[in-house]
Amino acid sequence: QVQLVQSGAEVKKSGASVKVSCKASGYTFYSNGITWVRQAPGQGLEWMGWISPYNGNTNYAQKFQGRVTMTTDTSTNTAYMELRSLRSDDTAVYFCARGARPIDYWGQGTLVTVSS
Amino acid sequence: EIIMTQSPATLSVSPGESATLSCRASQSVGDNLAWYQQKPGQAPRLLIYGASTRATGIPARFSGSGSGTQFTLTISSLQSEDFAAYYCHQYNNWPALTFGPGTKVDIK
């Protein structure tokens, strides 16, 4: 069965960077893109961007351009999302998910807490 | 950016009753619209894609309709496990994909 398993919770200082991993199994990794979505506490879902494990192509939401980098490692079927220059309003649960149109399977989420 | 709105923000329903959730897009998204269910502390789960196609394993009491800018998710005969938040999501305007703010369905 399709599974996306994410890395554990992180606590970071303002201005630091965080890198979240997402290990996929149960399907052919390079045949579907990986989308990243975040959810601030008590808030809705926010699309951050997408990466193709097949060729590394990325598309980022304009809001995160210049601050986010999404990568994949096809040797370990793992996707990564790095967010830099963290601010307090980046505190959120970050989800990886398979696909984009539509997103079908989701990881369990990774809580990133940014403190000053 | 396409703005998605959902109504109502909260819907109180008794078990066994039906619920109708609305989603509107600020411009046409065709039928490139999905619905997700999210329970507290869990990841979203895909219910409907292509505006009206149920995802694998989703019970028939969930149905989606609409196209263009107006969409509806109907849950007939609500079960206890259906009380959750529901989000619509447009994936037409690549790469600026957006979600609605959600509708919370709670027990009346």
Which residues on chain A are in Cβ contact (under 8 Å) with B91?
Answer: 100-103
> Which residue in the set B43, B50, B102 is minimally distant from A95, CB to CB?
B43
What confidence tens digit (pLDDT) does each residue in A29-77 have?
Answer: 999 999 999 999 999 999 999 999 999 999 999 999 999 999 999 999 9
Distance, in Å, from the CA atom of B35 to the CA atom of B33, rounded to the nearest integer, reads: 7
Which residues on chain B are in Cβ contact (under 8 Å) with A107?
Answer: 43
B97 and A100 in contact by Cβ < 8 A? yes
> Which residue in the set A45, A59, A103 is minimally distant from B95, CB to CB?
A59
Q: Could you tell me if B9 lies within 8 Å of chain A, comparing CB atoms? A: no
Model confidence band, residue B104 (pLDDT cutoffs 50, 70, 90): very high
Closest chain B residue by Cα to residue A100: B91
Tokens representing residue A89 in the block = 């309003």
Per-residue burial over A38-65, b = 16 or more CB atoms within 10 Å of its CB, e = otherwise: bbeeeebbbbbbbbbbeeeebbbbeebe
Q: Is the pLDDT of residue A27 over 90?
A: yes
Apex CA A51: angle with CA B99 and CA A20, to 5°?
85
A45 and B95 in contact by Cβ < 8 A? no
| One-letter identity of residue A23 | K
Q: Could you tell me if A101 lies within 8 Å of chain B, comparing CB atoms? A: yes
What confidence tens digit (pLDDT) does each residue in A72-87 have?
Answer: 999 999 999 999 999 9
Closest chain B residue by Cα to residue A99: B91
Distance, in Å, from the CA atom of A11 to the CA atom of A25, rounded to the nearest integer, reads: 27
